[in-house]
């Protein structure tokens, strides 16, 4: 008899705890993480540093490719074509937060179209310049671009991991 009483009491206590927990969970709002900082830091911060890095990379590539005097005009045209005219303006997160989801998505789509147009311009300039290179220079150029792309992807992955929005991170509790 005492054994039945203990089992019944235990079942009632466990059921009550589960019920209270379920009610508490149903009433709490889901945690929405704060908007992460931009991976490059504050919008518009350190444009000079970025220009310096870009110029340094250009100089190193020029030296590595051993650009000839005959190739110099094509090099200068290429560099003018791929050098950003101005630092891209970062979205103001506070302003974006005021928009509805469809409005934010439209802004994202506009930005993607701008990026695509800029990339198409860079591709055209790269193809024109690439055609002036010798096969050996093309190999060096390809390897340089591959390394730069890998470096950028690694940097982005590290930044996403730091912010907690790397692939699979959202699935974890």
State the pLDDT at residue 39: 43
Distance of CA 136 to the CA centre of its chain: 33
Share of the chain above pLDDT 90, in %: 32
What tens digit of pLDDT does each residue of 146-170 get?
Answer: 988 888 788 788 877 777 765 554 4
CA distance 159 to 104: 22
Q: CB neighbours of 90 closer than 8 A, spacing ≥ 6?
A: 38, 43, 44
Would you say residue 36 has pLDDT above 50? no
What tens digit of pLDDT does each residue of 97-133 get?
Answer: 888 999 989 988 998 998 899 889 989 999 999 999 9
State the pLDDT at residue 138: 95
Hey, what are 12's tokens? 């009632």
CA distance 170 to 43: 25
Higher per-residue confidence, 161 vs 171: 161
Share of the chain above pLDDT 70, in %: 65
- Per DSSP, the chain holds a count of helices (H) and strands (E) of 6, 0
């Amino acid at each position: 008899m005492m054994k039945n009483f203990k089992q019944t009491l235990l079942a009632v206590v466990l059921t009550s705890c589960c019920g209270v927990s379920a009610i508490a969970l149903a009433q709490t709002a889901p945690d929405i993480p704060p908007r992460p900082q931009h991976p490059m830091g504050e919008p518009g911060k350190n444009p000079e540093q970025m220009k310096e890095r870009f110029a340094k990379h250009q100089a190193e590539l020029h030296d590595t490719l051993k650009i000839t005097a005959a190739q110099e005009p094509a090099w200068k045209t290429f560099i003018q074509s791929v050098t950003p005219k101005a630092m891209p303006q970062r979205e103001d997160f506070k302003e974006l937060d005021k928009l509805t989801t469809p409005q934010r998505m439209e802004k994202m789509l506009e930005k993607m179209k701008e990026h695509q147009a800029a990339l198409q311009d860079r591709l055209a300039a790269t193809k024109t310049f690439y055609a002036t290179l010798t096969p050996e220079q093309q190999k060096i150029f390809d390897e340089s671009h591959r390394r730069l792309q890998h470096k950028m992807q690694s940097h982005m992955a590290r930044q996403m991991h730091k912010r907690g929005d790397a692939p699979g991170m959202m699935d974890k509790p």
